[in-house]
Amino acid sequence: MIDITPLLVKAAWVTVDISARALFFGFFIAAALVVMRTARLPPPRWLARAYISVVRGTPYFVQLLLVFYGGPAIGLRLDPFTCGVVVGAFNIGAYMSEAMRGAIESVESGQNEASRSLGFGRLATLRYIILPQAAGLMIRSIGVLAIILVKNSSLVSIISVVELTYQAQRLIGSTYKPLEVFTLSALMYIVIIYAVMGMVEFLYRRATRYTFL
């Protein structure tokens, strides 16, 4: 009998690692998509919209397989972990850009007018007035996406990244105790996801402090 807990904890850390990196890079991809979608010239807008449509219209699982197995044919060779981060980032980035855009658009138009009438330009208005307010509005939706990202990371087991789900499957091969192993791995997902929710609430309260005074 081997002790499965340390092995699962180690694998859970890989799940956290791969999700955190994907979220980090996804954030910048999302920001770039938002900028493209508000561009004055149409081509960047079309490109961003086409990209978002493709990501939303295909399963994450397929995207993963496509990049990992199809990538080498066009010279894109990624190790499994990097592939998980890249596909995760590009996937979540598309959804996150929609959350960001929605938050920015839901800041009242009067805020923009007040700022512009003081003499602030477009960028300064975005920086001092719109984004600080949009941040509060987008944090919770980004939190939901982060949770989806963590859950989706179980799919990278198919490209043999030794994360929580893959490790669980391997341990079943040696212990023949699927109920115990999967229950334990499920509990670990719950712990990770509750930690994410806690952080999201913390950030949300920080970003919206002013409304409670």
Enumerate residues 6+ apart whose C-beta is below 8 A from 160.
80, 166
- The CB-of-121 to another protein minimum distance in angstroms stands at 5
Nearer to another protein, 2 or 211 (CB): 211
Nearer to another protein, 87 or 135 (CB): 135
> What is the dihedral sign for C-alpha 16, 9, 159, 75?
positive
- The CB-of-45 to another protein minimum distance in angstroms stands at 18
Which spans of this chain sit near another protein (rule: CB under 8 A)? Answer: 108, 110-111, 113-122, 124, 128-129, 132-133, 136, 210-211, 213
- The CB-of-42 to another protein minimum distance in angstroms stands at 16
Long-range contacts of residues 62-69, Cβ cutoff 8 Å, at least 24 apart: 63/87, 63/90, 63/91, 64/155, 64/156, 64/158, 64/159, 65/158, 65/159, 68/159
- The CB-of-126 to another protein minimum distance in angstroms stands at 13
Nearer to another protein, 91 or 133 (CB): 133
Nearer to another protein, 52 or 207 (CB): 207
Cα–Cα separations (whole angstroms), residue 189 to 58, 66, 103, 165: 25, 26, 29, 10
